[in-house]
Amino acid sequence: MTSPILDVRHVSHRFRGHLALDDISFAIQTGEVVGLIGRSGAGKSTLLRCLCALERPDNGQILLNGEDITTQSESHLVKVRRRIGLVFQHFNLLNSRSVAGNIALPLQIAGCSRPKQKKRVEELLDLVGLQGFDKKYPSQLSGGQKQRVGIARALAANPSLLLCDEATSALDPESTASILNLLTDINRQLGLTIVIITHEMEVVRSFARRILALDHGRLIEDGTMVDFLSDGGQKKTLQPLLADIRPKLPADLARQIVAHDSPNATIVMRVVHSGEGVLPPFFGMLAQRFNLEATLLQGGVTTIGDQPVGDMIISLHGERRDEAVTFIKNMVKSMEVLGYVPHHP
Amino acid sequence: MSPIILNIILQSTLQTLEMVFASTAISVVIGLPLALFMITTGPGGLYHLPFAARIVGILVDALRAIPFIILLVILIPLTRFIAGTSLGTEAAIVPLSIAGIPYFARIAEVALREVDSGLIDAVKAMGGTRLTIIRSVLIPEALPSLVGSLTVTLITMVGASAMAGTIGAGGLGDLAIRYGYQRFNTTVMMDVVAVLIVMVFIIQICGNALARWLKH
């Protein structure tokens, strides 16, 4: 494996007296798309400011292309920052400059010649789908368009890493989807490494192949969406992050459910499965093999990345229920018993 | 109205305009860097010089605390030193500027403070130097508000120049006092007031239009 583009080693940082980052370590390879998720106050923003060299962590190292950015002098950091593109939640475009002027700013800072700037601005407008918008001003654009300008600006100086700080949080669902598509295209076309920081699981679930979760300054999970869904049952800290995107128990059922088993009770469980074997007729197979009633209560199969992932709440009722549970346990990625309903639901 | 009076009013108006525009120009040229200094050296600023920021802040506030009519008198020796005389329109520009500098500096500081810190972070993250931040972010982004500060300063200078008129600066203030107060010529005084009102209206309208145009 080649050396990682970004290597974070044992980073700790205090912010306003409390430990905002607590011994964080991870590495990101070139071309990866990584989601960094956490609730507000989890330390996301502090980590971001450390990654783009706006803040120096108290302890630990951050290696960008193998170069430790935590020990550089301020004047050298100015150059380091030019290798990182930053996309902001509130766009942070200069209202005094036109779209072209905003996109050209990093080039101007890097000392590019005027004709070069002009050429690059045109390329970037093309890339983000804003041809002909060069003379407009930010106040004339919609949120989604502003963010496209923000992305073009972040890409202007050919950064080796693109950091997106809640880049879609201020946008409506439609613009969010189009911005995420744009970022995916950019990753595919340019092979650019992208880290997207967010508090919404919805944003990263389809977009990032790898997800890092922060909670109270600690890295609590590093894996694929499927890992998140499978570990969600065991790790209590992950549950609030997943709550928005997971199927929930229907309200009337939630009232009936009890923790202990009883004869002839229906078992209710959450099942996560990925890869091959999700799509075959799961329920039919259960019914046939064990002669029981298998019901899908909530959830279904979605495609994450390129693979189908099932996240479902199901209920099983029948004589050979326990055999079926063992069978499912061996077949799926993870399974969690939510409870029992004494009589048939 | 006699042509003589009309001529005097015209003369005085030109004198007032000269005082107002010259002293405001000096106030901006010196006051804007002062405002930038206060904003960039203060808490959370680009440069970390809290002591220097405090000193400049105290000086600015001390100057602003002195009533203009008293400042006029205190500054007579300085005015003589710079202008060679303490009388006349040119001489009045000295105390007017010295009152205008801290005035403009403080309101320009407010305008500059309004600039979104996210923009400063964005340019910092692009690898912009502090000078780039001042030149490409602070000043252009605050420009519409700074034009507002300029308008307010111009109008304040109209009032102050009338006060300077009482101690021999010429201009509309001088005219109003001499004819209206000392000679009980109410007509001339009312004419002067009308000219002042029109002058302030025109300044305000132009200032607003310019600020709106700059806002895109």
Contact B132 A96 (CB under 8 A): no
Contact B116 A52 (CB under 8 A): no
Pairs of residues, one from chain A and one from chain B, whose beta carbons lie less than 8 Å apart: 63
- Three-state secondary-structure class, residue A227: helix
CA distance B118 to chain A (A): 6
Q: What is the pLDDT of residues A150-199, one digit of tens each?
A: 999 999 989 999 999 988 888 888 888 899 999 999 999 889 999 999 88
Query: Do strands A33-38 and A193-198 pair parallel, antiparallel, or not at all (unpaired)?
Result: parallel
Question: Mutual orientation of helices B50-65 and B3-41 as an angle, nearest 10°?
Answer: 160
- What pLDDT does A280 receive? 59
Domain parsing of chain A, residue ranges: 6-242, 251-341
pLDDT for residue A1 is more than 60:
no
Q: What class does CATH assign to A251-341?
A: alpha beta
Q: What is the pLDDT of residues A197-232, one digit of tens each?
A: 988 888 887 778 899 999 989 998 898 888 888 877
> What is the signed CA dihedral for B157, B163, B164, B165, rounded to 10 degrees?
120
B-chain CB neighbours of A80 within 8 Å are 127
Contact A103, A124 (CB under 8 A): yes
A-chain CB neighbours of B123 within 8 Å are 105, 109
- Three-state secondary-structure class, residue B194: helix
CA distance B69 to chain A (A): 40
Percent of chain A with pLDDT over 70: 96
Closest partner residue to A54 (CB to CB) among B121, B140, B143 is B121
- What pLDDT does A161 receive? 92
CA A221 to chain centre: 12
Whole-structure pTM value: 0.82
Closest partner residue to B132 (CB to CB) among A96, A109, A140 is A109
Closest partner residue to B216 (CB to CB) among A92, A95, A106 is A95
Return the residue of A nearest to B142 by Cα. Answer: A96
B-chain CB neighbours of A96 within 8 Å are 140-141, 143, 214, 216
pLDDT for residue A279 is more than 60:
no
- What pLDDT does B2 receive? 84
Q: What are phi and psi of A28, to 5 degrees?
A: -125, 130
Task: Kindly indicate whether the domain formed by A6-242 is annotated with CATH number 3.40.50.300.
Answer: yes
- What pLDDT does A107 receive? 93
For B95-114, b/e burial (b = at least 16 CB within 10 A) is bbbbbbbbbbbbbbbebbee
Contact A96 B140 (CB under 8 A): yes
Contact A96 B141 (CB under 8 A): yes
Contact A242, A299 (CB under 8 A): no
> What is the signed CA dihedral for B206, B207, B212, B214, rounded to 10 degrees?
110
Provide the token pair at A76.
Answer: 């050298």
B-chain CB neighbours of A109 within 8 Å are 123, 126-129, 132
- What pLDDT does B142 receive? 96
Percent of chain B with pLDDT over 70: 100
Q: Kindly provide the ipTM of the predicted complex, given to two decimals.
A: 0.81
Q: Is B141 on the interface with A (CB under 8 A)?
A: yes
Neighbouring C-alpha atoms within 13 Å toward the C-beta of A96: 18
Residue A215 neighbours by CB under 8 Å, 6+ apart: A38, A39, A42, A237, A241
- What pLDDT does B42 receive? 84
Return the residue of A nearest to B125 by Cα. Answer: A81
- What pLDDT does A345 receive? 46
Q: What is the pLDDT of residues A66-124, one digit of tens each?
A: 889 998 888 888 888 888 999 999 999 999 999 999 999 999 998 899 999 999 999 99
Quote the mean pLDDT of chain B. Answer: 92
Return the residue of B nearest to A93 by Cα. Answer: B119
Query: Do strands A33-38 and A210-215 pair parallel, antiparallel, or not at all (unpaired)?
Result: parallel
Q: Is B39 on the interface with A (CB under 8 A)?
A: no
User: Which range, of A85-89, B32-36, B181-185, averages the lowest pLDDT?
Assistant: B181-185
pLDDT for residue A312 is more than 50:
yes
Q: Is B123 on the interface with A (CB under 8 A)?
A: yes
- Three-state secondary-structure class, residue A67: strand
- What DSSP element (H or E) covers A14? strand A6-15
B-chain CB neighbours of A54 within 8 Å are 121, 124-125
Residue range of the domain that includes B94: 3-214
Return the residue of A nearest to B129 by Cα. Answer: A78
Residues in chain A, how many?
Answer: 345
User: Which range, of A22-36, A180-194, A213-227, A297-311, averages the lowest pLDDT?
Assistant: A297-311
Q: What is the pLDDT of residues B115-152, one digit of tens each?
A: 999 999 899 888 888 899 999 999 999 999 999 999 99
Q: Is B50 on the interface with A (CB under 8 A)?
A: no
Taking the C-alpha atoms of residue B86 and residue B73, their distance in angstroms, rounded to an integer, is: 10
- What pLDDT does B85 receive? 87
Q: Is B135 on the interface with A (CB under 8 A)?
A: no
A-chain CB neighbours of B129 within 8 Å are 78, 109
Reported as a pLDDT band with limits 50, 70 and 90, residue A328 is confident
Q: Is B71 on the interface with A (CB under 8 A)?
A: no
Provide the token pair at A239.
Answer: 């549950």
CB atoms within 10 A of CB B214: 15
Domain count, chain B: 1
pLDDT for residue A254 is more than 90:
no
CB atoms within 10 A of CB A186: 19
Contact B128 A139 (CB under 8 A): no
Burial of A1 (0-12, 13-18, 19+ CB in 10 A): exposed
CATH number for position B171: 1.10.3720.10
Taking the C-alpha atoms of residue A309 and residue A273, their distance in angstroms, rounded to an integer, is: 6
Question: Mutual orientation of helices A99-109 and A114-127 as an angle, nearest 10°?
Answer: 130
Complete edge-to-edge strand list for the sheet that includes strand A161-165? A84-87, A161-165, A193-198, A33-38, A210-215, A218-223
For A296-305, b/e burial (b = at least 16 CB within 10 A) is ebebeeeebb
pLDDT for residue B170 is more than 90:
no
> Could you give the C-alpha distances from A40 to A57, A139, A236, B117, in angstroms and in order?
19, 29, 17, 20
CA distance B214 to chain A (A): 8
Return the residue of A nearest to B143 by Cα. Answer: A96
Residue A127 neighbours by CB under 8 Å, 6+ apart: A152, A155, A186, A189
| β-bridge partners, A271 | A312, A335
Q: What is the pLDDT of residues B59-114, one digit of tens each?
A: 999 999 999 999 999 999 999 999 888 888 999 999 999 999 999 999 999 999 99
